[in-house]
Amino acid sequence: MDGKSDVKDKRKMQYQKLRRYFIDDKDCREKDSSHQTQKDFVNDTLVFTPYLDHKLHNKIERWNKKKRWMKDPPEGKQFKSSHGHQNEKVQQQKEFRKKLDPFPGDAPVSQEKIKKYRRGKKLQSTKTRSKLESYKLIEKEERQSLAVIQSARSELLLQEEAGFLEVEEGEDITELTQYDIADVVDITSAQKFFELNLNEFGPYRVNYTRNGRFLLLGGAAGHIASIDWLTKKLLCEINVMETIHDAKWLHQETMFAVAQKQWTYIYDNQGIEIHCLKILDSVLRLEFLPYHFLLASSNSKGYLSYIDVSVGKKVAGISTGLGRLDVMCQNPNNAIICMGHPGGTVTMWSPNVKEPLVKMLCHRAGVRAIAVDHTGQYMVTSSIDRTMKIWDLRTYKIMQSYKLGGGGGHLAFSQRGLIAAGIGNIVEVYNDCINNTMTVPYMMHQLQSTVHGLQFCPYEDVLGVGHGAGFSSLIIPGAGEANYDALEANPFQTKKQRQEAEVKLLLEKIQPEMIHLDAGRIGQMDVKTYHENIEKLQVSRPNKIKFEPKYKMKGKSKGLHKEHRKKGVVEKEKTQFIRDKLKQKQRVDKEKEHTQSQTCGTKSVLDRFIKSAQ
């Protein structure tokens, strides 16, 4: 008896269990009208299903919400599990996993960083021409957002910090001399402060390569020297026995262009003359646009010309009619050339438009120097009236205006937004002077003679100053970008890397037609022609005719009769319209044929009477 009852009990239990299971299951089903069981809810992660049905989307959303809710229910609402053991198991598994990896999954990335790398809005994927394509768009968006997250995450690798200058209380920051700094800093940094005494060949123009490794010095009296300035190794040194107005590196340290008295020459890194560009005569200033491989030069006769260095062709030549062009700089963001004029105006040029894109009146007197920062947001100008003004190039409005002691003859922007001004024989560096009004310069250095060339060395806290008595390399803490991108500009480039980079640069060369004031224009659609095309495509329809039949006696104005009359008129108009259209088309076709036959040269009998051109 005992055994039997035992068996019975067991069965009962089993049954009850099962019943409970099913009841719960049913409840669950009723709750969200889905066929998934509760068990599945907890365990399964809902993989994204490709259906784009809106309803389904919502459903998935609801599921996920529910799942989340079940995993960590809000207080007071406890999720009662029908199978406790199952839940426990899951819990155990979780705990086990916890032990394995205290930080499961990828490291979180802050939203701010993601925002920084995100370009524009998210892709709209709901409205497409086909369902499959919208799925593909979603996938694309997913891939792009992954790229954004990866970029944000890889910011972790940018470990270098920018330098800065700090003085103790009561000490004036401007009093710090280069010698003081050189004494304090480490040996390698101290070596970055040096002076080259080159008294004979007059004031020097300065140019660094894009990676900041090589230095080009062009003395007004014809002395050219290219130096690996970090190791102080001389690459080449020549004297062209002519006046030199400007000297600029081309895309790499293998070539540089020199604007001499009459022509512009190109030399290689051994000082051998490769080209004499006779298209560029009496050039005063040179600018090289590295992504376009364009050498822009401004002339003493007011002629601005662009030469494509990769193919050696002249891309554009614009006679500005603005007189001697000896103040020039480029906007590194959009490759627009800015030029300063004696009328206090600054003009901006692209090779595609024959007139200045923008003409700004910046000063009341002649503009002496211009510089644009690498983001293309700010422009700094200085004038004969000893003012220095900072402009916002997005709005063309003034940001700051300063009066300098002697008036800045030369200006330079550093990668981190420092501004250097050559005032007579003094070089002043201003920090944080764009958004805030600065009263005291950041650093100051006095030279033996007047400044003639000024450039911050990229990726280094160094300012190169060319002057009458040679060249000075000054340490300016916090000037250069601390983290360099080796794919963009590698200061520690090997020969092989340089060669590869050259090929890559040429492959990624941007066409000069893409130069535009709005750098993002190329990513926009040509909306105007698009609309025109659409209009063309649309079939022309006859106008809607508003015709109200006249009232007629004798029952002829009954509803149906009236309608019939109306219809007849409208129909007639329509047919007429179509007939006209057809006629027009035929005429056009005939004309086409005619012209074709003429061009094809089918001979007619009367052709013999046509006088030959000879």
Q: Considering only residues 333-372, where is the footprint of another protein by CB under 8 A?
A: 343-345, 350, 352-365
Nearest to 119 by CA among 155, 156, 154, 148: 148
Q: How wide is the angle at C-alpha 93 spanned by C-alphas 92 and 98, nearest 5°?
A: 95
- 152: DSSP letter: H
Q: Whose Cβ is closer to another protein: residue 110's or residue 557's? A: 110
Residue 440 in the binding site for another protein (CB under 8 A): yes
Q: How wide is the angle at C-alpha 287 spanned by C-alphas 282 and 289, nearest 5°?
A: 140
Q: Whose Cβ is closer to another protein: residue 59's or residue 516's? A: 516
In SS3 terms, 175-232 reads as HCCHHHHHHHCCHHHHCCCEEEECCCCCCEEEEECCCCCEEEEEECCCEEEEEECCCC
Residue 384 in the binding site for another protein (CB under 8 A): yes
Strand partners, 217: 206, 225
With CB under 8 A as the contact rule, which of the stretches 131-139, 186-194, 256-264, 578-586 interacts with another protein? Answer: 131-139
Per the listing, tokens 């002697």 go with 406
Q: Whose Cβ is closer to another protein: residue 107's or residue 600's? A: 107
Nearest to 556 by CA among 541, 546, 570, 566: 566
Residue 522 in the binding site for another protein (CB under 8 A): yes
Q: How far is the CB of 379 from another protein (least distance, A)?
A: 12
Q: How wide is the angle at C-alpha 528 spanned by C-alphas 522 and 533, nearest 5°?
A: 115
Residue 428 in the binding site for another protein (CB under 8 A): yes
Q: How wide is the angle at C-alpha 150 spanned by C-alphas 146 and 152, nearest 5°?
A: 115
Q: How far is the CB of 194 from another protein (least distance, A)?
A: 21
Residue 8 in the binding site for another protein (CB under 8 A): yes
Is residue 353 helix, strand or coil?
A: coil
In SS3 terms, 69-104 reads as HHHCCCCCCCCCCCCHHHHHHHHHHHHHHHHHCCCC
Residue 12 in the binding site for another protein (CB under 8 A): yes
Residue 529 in the binding site for another protein (CB under 8 A): yes
With CB under 8 A as the contact rule, which of the stretches 221-229, 300-308, 441-449, 452-460 interacts with another protein? Answer: 441-449
Residue 276 in the binding site for another protein (CB under 8 A): no
- H/E stretch holding 145: helix 131-153
Q: Whose Cβ is closer to another protein: residue 222's or residue 458's? A: 458
Q: How far is the CB of 394 from another protein (least distance, A)?
A: 12
Residue 11 in the binding site for another protein (CB under 8 A): yes
Which of 43, 64, 91, 124 is close enough to bind another protein by CB under 8 A?
A: 124
With CB under 8 A as the contact rule, which of the stretches 134-142, 196-204, 369-377, 475-483 interacts with another protein? Answer: 134-142
Residue 135 in the binding site for another protein (CB under 8 A): yes
Query: Residue type for 351, please?
Result: P
Q: Whose Cβ is closer to another protein: residue 225's or residue 426's? A: 426
Q: How many residues bind another protein (CB under 8 A)?
A: 111
Residue 526 in the binding site for another protein (CB under 8 A): yes
Nearest to 227 by CA among 473, 481, 503, 410: 473
User: Considering Cα of 486, then 491, then 494, then 495, what sign does the dihedral take?
Assistant: positive
Residue 34 in the binding site for another protein (CB under 8 A): no
Angstrom distance (rounded) from CA 564 to CA 556: 10
What residues from 393 to 422 belong to the interface with another protein (CB under 8 A)?
Answer: 396-407
Q: How far is the CB of 138 from another protein (least distance, A)?
A: 10
Q: Do residues 323 and 306 lie in contact, with contact meaning Cβ atoms separated by under 8 Å? A: no
Angstrom distance (rounded) from CA 108 to CA 92: 25
Which of 92, 93, 110, 446 is close enough to bind another protein by CB under 8 A?
A: 446
Q: Whose Cβ is closer to another protein: residue 88's or residue 526's? A: 526
Q: Do residues 351 and 330 lie in contact, with contact meaning Cβ atoms separated by under 8 Å? A: no
Residue 506 in the binding site for another protein (CB under 8 A): no
Residue 279 in the binding site for another protein (CB under 8 A): no
Residue 470 in the binding site for another protein (CB under 8 A): no
Which of 93, 199, 375, 533 is close enough to bind another protein by CB under 8 A?
A: 533
What residues from 93 to 122 belong to the interface with another protein (CB under 8 A)?
Answer: 119-122
Q: Whose Cβ is closer to another protein: residue 123's or residue 578's? A: 123
- Give the burial class of 443: count Cβ atoms within 10 A of its Cβ; 0-12 exposed, 13-18 middle, 19 or more buried: buried
Residue 313 in the binding site for another protein (CB under 8 A): no
Q: How far is the CB of 113 from another protein (least distance, A)?
A: 13
Q: Whose Cβ is closer to another protein: residue 68's or residue 364's? A: 364
Mask for 193-222, x = binds another protein (CB under 8 A): ------------------------------
Q: Characterise 333 by phi-psi region: left (phi > 0), alpha (psi -120 to 50), beta (else).
A: alpha
With CB under 8 A as the contact rule, which of the stretches 12-20, 106-114, 240-248, 253-261 interacts with another protein? Answer: 12-20
Residue 187 in the binding site for another protein (CB under 8 A): no
Q: Whose Cβ is closer to another protein: residue 221's or residue 438's? A: 438
How far CA 180 is from CA of 189, 445, 474, 475, 518, in Å, comes to 12, 12, 12, 11, 44
Q: Do residues 245 and 207 lie in contact, with contact meaning Cβ atoms separated by under 8 Å? A: no
Q: How far is the CB of 364 from another protein (least distance, A)?
A: 5
Q: Whose Cβ is closer to another protein: residue 254's or residue 400's? A: 400
Q: Whose Cβ is closer to another protein: residue 274's or residue 361's? A: 361
Nearest to 43 by CA among 75, 20, 67, 12: 67
Residue 38 in the binding site for another protein (CB under 8 A): no
Which of 426, 457, 465, 469 is close enough to bind another protein by CB under 8 A?
A: 426
Residue 140 in the binding site for another protein (CB under 8 A): yes
Q: How far is the CB of 127 from another protein (least distance, A)?
A: 5
Residue 527 in the binding site for another protein (CB under 8 A): yes
Return the biggest CA–CA distance within the chain.
133
With CB under 8 A as the contact rule, which of the stretches 63-71, 203-211, 454-462, 485-493 interacts with another protein? Answer: 485-493
Backbone angles phi, psi at 343, to 5 degrees: -80, 10
Structure tokens of 231? 């190791």
Query: Beta 303-308 vs 313-319: how paired, if at all?
Result: antiparallel
Q: Do residues 398 and 414 lie in contact, with contact meaning Cβ atoms separated by under 8 Å? A: no
Question: Could you tell me the end-to-end alpha-carbon distance of the chain, in angstroms, rounded to an integer?
Answer: 132
What residues from 146 to 175 belong to the interface with another protein (CB under 8 A)?
Answer: 146-148, 150-151, 153-154, 168, 170-172, 174-175
Q: How far is the CB of 418 from another protein (least distance, A)?
A: 15
